[in-house]
């Protein structure tokens, strides 16, 4: 992998990640851009104990542009985009309309490929491995920023999810706090550790799933399963067999095996609802241990946390979506119409031949 860092016309950072070591990246951003002005602010909800990012400047962000005006495609002739070069393997840049900025963190866009009509599942093993290396490198770099406590790499796919750009891409949020979802995991981890005299809750969950009927696929270094209490109609958690706290700690064997496992899962997701169905909308979310202090979670250290990816869709059946209505949105109590055991069975049925 070759990494090249440069600057866009308005001062934002752009990083190319290339498969070839002899690739030269010297294209200049020719757009007449002014410096980006953001109004991002993080406010604490004192009743719930969580945080909300207020970012009014995002109201003016690019919204469903025609394919010929996609800002994530490479620049060609007089059609200038966020990527000044005429091609790229993987490109990462600071979001022009960030939810978090400055002392409130940082937001980046990760372009998986220059092919506008592709999807992550269409990548080759080498391309998927390059994306993994980009996620890992950005996690390392962002963790050193003084305002950052947790790094979140994720992909939203599909208009149903709320995606405003059709080009295959994901995002990275670098939060100035430990996110509420991670804090819940850490509290459960601490309580289980104390109650069992030191047993790790993530290890116990993985062992239970391996002994049950919800495993979707397993390899020498990865296990994918539908969780016992899945929130979403089709939801898969992907764990490395060796517990590590973040992407940086994955060993070479797990990194090498990751593309085959992850690409297979994504391809199965597109086959859940049968032939002729539109691509399955999904969210793919990496959960990593925070880089901040963990004193509030008694007895827990970073190494107790288990890196894992959660992949889920809001489509519950052909032509129907799972909406977060009263119970989910009002009280955060999910109601799942698809039994996790049946979801796992279906995901095994649609395995690649």
Catalytic residues, by residue number, are: 169
- Determine contact, residues 31/47, Cβ cutoff 8 Å: no
CA dist 73 and 172 (Å) reads 19
| CA distance readout (Å), 200 to 182, 195, 218, 296 | 16, 11, 21, 18
Neighbours of 199 (CB within 10 A): 11
What value, to the nearest 5°, has the Cα angle with vertex 113 and ends 154 and 10?
Answer: 80
CA dist 296 and 325 (Å) reads 33
CA dist 295 and 301 (Å) reads 9
CA dist 308 and 128 (Å) reads 17
The residue to which tokens 């009002």 are assigned: 330
The DSSP line for 181-206 is: HHHHHHHHHHHHHHHTTS--HHHHHH
Give alpha helix (H) positions in the chain: 125-143, 180-195, 201-210, 252-269, 331, 340-349
The DSSP line for 5-40 is: EEE-TTS-EEEEEESSTT--------S-PPPP----
**DSSP 8-state secondary structure symbol assigned to residue 83:** B
């Amino acid at each position: 992998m070759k990494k090249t860092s440069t600057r866009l016309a308005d001062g934002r950072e752009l990083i190319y990640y290339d498969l070839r070591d002899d690739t030269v990246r010297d294209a200049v951003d020719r757009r007449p851009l002014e410096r980006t002005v953001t109004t991002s602010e993080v406010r604490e909800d004192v009743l719930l104990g969580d945080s909300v990012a207020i970012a009014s400047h995002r109201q003016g962000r690019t919204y469903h542009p025609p394919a010929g005006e996609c800002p994530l495609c490479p620049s060609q002739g007089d059609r200038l985009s966020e990527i000044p070069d005429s091609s790229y393997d993987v490109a990462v840049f600071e979001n022009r309309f960030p939810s978090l900025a400055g002392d409130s963190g940082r937001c980046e866009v990760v372009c998986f490929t220059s092919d506008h009509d592709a999807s992550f599942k269409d990548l080759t093993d080498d391309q998927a491995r390059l994306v993994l290396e980009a996620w890992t490198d950005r996690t390392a770099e962002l963790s050193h920023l003084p305002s950052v406590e947790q790094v979140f790499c994720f992909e939203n796919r599909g208009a149903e999810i709320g995606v405003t750009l059709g080009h295959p891409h994901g995002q990275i949020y670098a939060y100035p706090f430990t996110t509420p979802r991670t804090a819940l995991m850490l509290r459960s981890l601490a309580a289980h550790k104390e109650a069992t005299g030191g047993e790790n809750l993530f290890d116990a969950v993985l062992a239970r799933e391996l002994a049950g009927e919800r495993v979707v696929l397993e390899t020498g270094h990865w296990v994918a399963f539908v969780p016992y209490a899945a929130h979403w109609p089709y939801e898969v958690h992907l764990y490395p067999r060796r517990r590590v706290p973040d992407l940086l700690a994955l060993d070479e064997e797990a990194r090498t095996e990751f593309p085959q496992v992850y690409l297979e899962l994504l391809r199965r997701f597109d086959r859940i609802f049968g032939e002729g169905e539109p691509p399955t909308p999904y969210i793919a979310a990496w959960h990593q241990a925070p880089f901040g202090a963990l004193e509030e979670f008694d007895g827990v250290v970073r190494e107790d946390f288990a890196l894992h990816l959660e992949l889920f869709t809001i489509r519950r059946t052909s032509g129907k979506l799972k909406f977060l209505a009263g119970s989910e949105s009002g009280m955060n109590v999910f109601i799942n119409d698809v039994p996790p055991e049946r979801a796992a069975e279906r995901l095994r049925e649609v395995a690649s031949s």
